[in-house]
A and B are shown apart, each in its own frame.
Chain A
């Protein structure tokens, strides 16, 4: 029973990190209609920024804020400088460009921050909570992870559904020409979309790093699972991303615990195939309208 509970709980926490990562992908997709493969290394870079701040003797929270802010700046910067030149051309150009960024950021981080494993502190205790005499696999940091991802999801839903900016972002992603005609500053919206996505990605990076080990490729395993989670949810829906992340996190944890850890990656693909076969647009996709 305890094993079942612990496996579920660790899966839940991990699923929330996948969800945060998937949220960032959803955000970029909704605001620019491209998939950002460089999301993981961007988050890795900002996590290292936090580590530098913390190493300099400042508090965890200062590092946390520094990482989020640098995420915001990095996202805006990359959109303006790297992505903007291919904006409006075939979408595949931008996607390939993000793949290139993936490699460049990796290499740069290894040069700047070093290639060894380093421990990353957590603001809360790492010992599991004791309930009725047994310790369950949920610690303060795990609760923090779950709460912060839920809050971010709520904020994103609110942004896209209830605010003017959100509407403009969706408009410029959906059809730049029309949006521009309607007076939307499309360029600014795209930059904002990247910046926000990068900020959420940084959060994912911080959440998976906390109380664990970081090195330039520590986010790589999250990339795959984050993508799967986002696609499960339909790439378009923040709620879908979170649900997708949770489904993936919990089921992979059970596969690892009860079947075998070598099957984890395979299981992720099986889940993805099942969902896409049964519901090709993802779990939360709205029915696509097509005019004939």
Chain B
């Protein structure tokens, strides 16, 4: 017993000493700002190194592998104009093949070997979920995750370093649900869902409005390319409007099966799966049937938009992206996926601007929380960033595809997650703004 008490004496002393040391350390950093910048990995006087993981190979690669090429082109564009606060942006892209095990490995490499300041735009729900806790534990900002899952922004307490970017699947589901309830109240709705967060979050949103209209719910497993049983199920339930939350390859596959089984409902594909250029290129060979050439492949299909794309070349943002791509692109056409990458890169540059000259990870997170909601940018609706929410873009617009172009059916509608958040018309003017002359955001 006495031994025990005696034993704690040195322990307490050591703890106290450690605390004191920590306090000194913190104090030291506060007093000299120049050293603070040097304290965080990936930042020097004239560079900031960031990383990202994407499926450059494998099933998810079509389309998605183009996202980092767009971001890279925009960072090159910014670097050419002197970078941000005098720092050149060095973007390191790693391939994870959309396999969470690989994501852990390459993210480890980014953090430990490349010593990145933050990850930006890394893609995928299962992939990024596998490293979210690691990055947060290490204090590495996981910015603008390329996924619409709720988990990037709805739990700030546990994941203070993680931020979403695109509208989440739940608000997209809500907006789609409300539109259907108002405009097609007699439709028999079938849901075609990817069997993971994508389908789950979206279903939650959709059901708030059209619960009683739903006649069938079919889920496919990503990787299983035979969706005939699912489409047959929708057909058997006589669904005449299919709300589909799936990746682009499955848009093509579902269209092919529908052709085979003679199923002709109205299709409403969520934004993630509806890129007409990509789906059209997948379907272009099957011109014998009802699926015609590339641009008209998805004619009459309903979908949503949250950033301007290549179908509106007169949009000032798209003109900027075209210029950036022509000057710094790695070849090939400007595509919607590249625009996606550039739009994300634009937001990250805004974050760097806002974080100020003394760049720290905490300073960056704070800047996004405080100012992110007011940033103007290509997105049609503002970000929802705040100290309580790290959710990305607040809304979408419903469009109908005609000849590869989206024709607006609604204004930009904004809302938030949860049943209490109402859907309103966006009045921020985000949809009508234009980029600054230089093409680089200023704070």
**How far, in angstroms, from A130 to B259 measured CA to CA in the complex?**
12
A99 part of interface (Cβ distance < 8 Å) = no
B261 at the A interface (CB under 8 A): yes
Question: Does A163 interact with chain B (Cβ within 8 Å)?
Answer: no
Do the beta carbons of A115 and B57 come within 8 Å of each other?
yes
Question: Looking at the complex, which one of B221, B253, B285 makes contact with A120 (CB distance below 8 Å)?
Answer: B285
Instruction: Give the distance in Å from the alpha carbon of A260 to the alpha carbon of B289 in the complex.
Output: 29
B188 sits at the interface (CB 8 A): no
A217 with B59: CB separation less than 8 A: yes
Asked if B62 is at the interface of the complex by the 8 Å CB criterion, the answer is yes
Let me know if A144 is at the binding interface, CB within 8 A.
Answer: no
* Residue A125 interfacial (CB < 8 Å): yes
| A221 and B59 alpha carbons, distance in the complex (Å) | 12
**Interface pick from B1-9, B103-111, B231-239, B404-412:** B231-239
In the complex the two chains form, is A213's CB within 8 Å of B282's CB?
yes
B57, A2: Cβ atoms under 8 Å? no
Number of contacting residues on A, CB 8 A? 41
Interface membership of A3, Cβ < 8 A:
yes
Contact of B260 (CB < 8 Å), options: A115, A128, A260: A128
Known: A117-B62, A119-B283, A125-B289. A261 touches B232 (CB 8 A): no
* Chain A interface helix/strand/loop/mixed: mixed
Chain B interface residue count, CB cutoff 8 Å, equals 43
The answer to whether A137 touches B260, judged by C-beta atoms less than 8 angstroms apart, is yes
Contacts A115-B58, A256-B230, A262-B221; is A126 near B261 (CB within 8 Å)? no
- Residues of B near A116 (CB, < 8 A) are 61-62, 65
Would you list which residues of chain A between 100 and 159 have a CB under 8 Å from chain B?
A: 110, 115-122, 125-128, 130, 134-137, 139
A187 CB to nearest B CB, Å = 38
Q: How far is the CB of A61 from chain B (nearest CB, A)?
A: 15
| CB-based contact B221/A215 at 8 Å | no
Known: A117-B282, A260-B219. A6 touches B228 (CB 8 A): yes
Q: Given A3-B235, A261-B220, are A10 and B262 also a contact pair (CB < 8 Å)? A: no
Interfacial chain A residues near B261, Cβ < 8 Å: 6, 128, 135-137
Contact B59 A3 (CB under 8 A): no
Contact check, A126 vs B284: say whether CB atoms are below 8 A apart. no
Q: For residue B287, which residue of chain A has the nearest CB? A: A121
Which residue of A3, A212, A258, A264 contacts B224 across the interface (Cβ within 8 Å)?
A264
Name the contact of B262 in the complex, choosing from A7, A134, A217 (C-beta under 8 A).
A134
A-B contact sample (9 more), CB < 8 A, given A7-B232, A261-B195: A6-B228, A7-B229, A126-B260, A127-B259, A136-B261, A218-B225, A257-B229, A258-B229, A264-B224
- What are the 3 closest A-B residue pairs judged by CB atoms, nearest first? A135-B262, A257-B229, A3-B236
A residues within 8 Å of B by Cβ?
A: 2-3, 6-7, 10, 14, 110, 115-122, 125-128, 130, 134-137, 139, 211-213, 215, 217-218, 221, 253-254, 256-258, 260-262, 264
